Structure 1
Amino acid sequence: MYCSRCGQQNSDQAQFCQRCGVAIGTAAIVGHGGVYAEPYRSARRLALILTILFCIVILIIIIAIVLDLVLINLLSGSYVSSRDMQLNEDVQAAIGTFQFVAFIVTTVFFLIWIYRTHGNLPRLGSRNLQYSPAWAIAGFFIPFVNLVLPFLVVQEIWKASDPRRIDGFSWKDTPLSLRVLFWWILFLVGVIGPLVMIIAFGGGDEVADVLNWTWARLVFDVLDIPRTILAILVVRGIVSRQDEKHSSLAGPAPLAD
């Protein structure tokens, strides 16, 4: 049986972990998930995949910003031909498709990463967790709740992964992560802002309306870059903290994805 605190494999008859000394029965019942017989699994590979995906997202955002500037320059001229407008719309549609596909793929891997890293918390000895891995995922899909719950889930993962808090309860004393906070604020701005933008500028077909829409979209595209960079820092920071905490518990080398 694996010790859910340090990941050490013990004999089926063992009452205490031979590495960390925790009672097997006690160590296995933690958090919301009941008994954890599997060892700690590092999310390093998932973090690498997400880093690559986020970098692709940033590249697409930069291209979108350049196109926004081209359109603004075009619309600011004295004459705009229908051919130029159609060409710009076609290019914008193509970039929008790339952005949508990148968003879907990145979201899938991000949710897998959330499930993995939150599932690691009990195996790192964290107790009294507020959420389960399944609830952490479900919170992203419940209307209005998903404006707050994902932030709380990621904060819980960050705090409970603190390598300085090796007992089961003191992780609650870990301060909130500012990088998680700023990431979530920018995320909400990126979600709510375009909705406001559609209401304000989406109904007009005049050149002035399209120009206002493009300026607003440019602002949100620019804000997407620091948001994505913060997402990379959050993902890599949590994985680093979890691996360090696992090492501090003197467990075996973490299993890769």
Structure 2
Amino acid sequence: MSIEKAGFKNSDSLTKWVKWFIYIQILVAVISLISGNMELQLLSNYENGIYTSQAQAVADGEANDARQGLIAIAYTVVFIISGIIILKWIYRANYNAQQLGAKDMQFTPGWSVGWYFIPIFTLWKPYQAMKEIWKASANSDNWSNEKVGSILPWWWFFWLANNFLGQAVLRMSLRAEEISELKNVNIVYQASDIASIILAFVTLSLVNSIYQSQIAHELGKDILSLK
């Protein structure tokens, strides 16, 4: 489907890229979960004195560290690329919502993205911006009275949960020395992976809902203009 005119900008390709990179995020998170379980088993083996050969214990530890390191690199690369694409999509979604006729929106396309980078305010401002995009996309004529889909609060809940868990992993890993502490870091990291997977699926639903609303709205306008 192709809709491109002065003002409203086609988001077909951009939305497809967003979806593909979210799928890649899910794949990397699943691989990370599997690897995390392998690491947890290794730590348990260390704790229970399973190894009779120190050389084998060291070799398995090094192999684990190499595997986890590669996954961490993949995670970082995918996060950066998908983050850029998703933020570009949010910018476009806000812009298109205004082009559909929504008046007096509080958030500009720039600030719908910019609030993600402002400490403290990032805890609620991006959610408010996305809520505004949702409402304006569903009903540009009377968007302020439009109800918000139930998917939106869940999206923000898992966004915050994923971020808090990630920060917890970082803080815990900096001071973890004993095997029991390393196991706790591993468990929280796996919880972060699970939150990341759920967040990815919820984000897919959110992106698709807003995209479909905007396309349906614009198609409706085009049909009316032809009558």
- Pair 1:220 & 2:192 matched: yes
Query: Which ranges of structure 2 fall in alignment gaps of 5 or more residues?
Result: 52-56
Amino acid across the alignment from 1:56: I
Contact 1:190 1:223 in 2 (8 A): yes
Spell out, residue by residue over 1:207-228, the C-alpha distance to the aligned partner (whole angstroms, 9 max, x if none): 1111111111111111211100
Partner of 1:209: 181
> Residues 252 and 137 of structure 1: is their aligned pair in 2 closer, same or farther, counting only changes over 3 Å?
farther
Partner of 1:53: 21
TM-score (norm 1): 0.78
Contact 2:165 2:191 in 1 (8 A): no
Q: Distance in 1 between matches of 2:213 and 2:151?
A: 14
- Pair 1:115 & 2:91 matched: yes
State, as a whole percentage, how many aligned pairs show the same letter.
23
Q: Distance in 2 between matches of 1:252 and 1:61?
A: 45
Partner of 2:148: 176
Partner of 1:23: none
Where in structure 2 are the equivalents of 1:1-257 lying within 5 Å? 38-77=6-45, 78-79=48-49, 81-162=57-138, 165=139, 167=141, 170-200=142-172, 202-250=174-222
Q: Distance in 2 between matches of 1:197 and 1:97?
A: 16
More helix by share: 2
Contact 2:98 2:136 in 1 (8 A): no
Q: Distance in 2 between matches of 1:174 and 1:62?
A: 37
Q: Distance in 1 between matches of 2:99 and 2:171?
A: 47
Amino acid across the alignment from 2:144: K
Contact 2:97 2:140 in 1 (8 A): no
> Residues 166 and 111 of structure 1: is their aligned pair in 2 closer, same or farther, counting only changes over 3 Å?
closer
Contact 1:53 1:102 in 2 (8 A): yes
Deviates more, 1:192-201 or 1:95-104: 192-201
Query: Which ranges of structure 1 fall in alignment gaps of 5 or more residues?
Result: 1-6, 9-37
Give SS of 1:177's match. Answer: coil
Q: Distance in 2 between matches of 1:206 and 1:86?
A: 17
Structure number, greater radius of gyration: 1
Q: Distance in 2 between matches of 1:210 and 1:200?
A: 8
Matched residue count: 214
Partner of 2:54: none
Spell out, residue by residue over 1:152-190, the C-alpha distance to the aligned partner (whole angstroms, 9 max, x if none): 11111111001xx352xx111111222121111111111
Give SS of 1:40's match. Answer: coil
Give SS of 1:250's match. Answer: helix
Greater RCO (Cα-Cα under 8 Å, separation 6 or more): 1
TM-score (norm 2): 0.88
Amino acid across the alignment from 2:220: S
Contact 2:165 2:189 in 1 (8 A): no
Amino acid across the alignment from 1:94: L
Contact 1:166 1:249 in 2 (8 A): no
> Residues 100 and 251 of structure 1: is their aligned pair in 2 closer, same or farther, counting only changes over 3 Å?
farther
Give SS of 1:139's match. Answer: helix
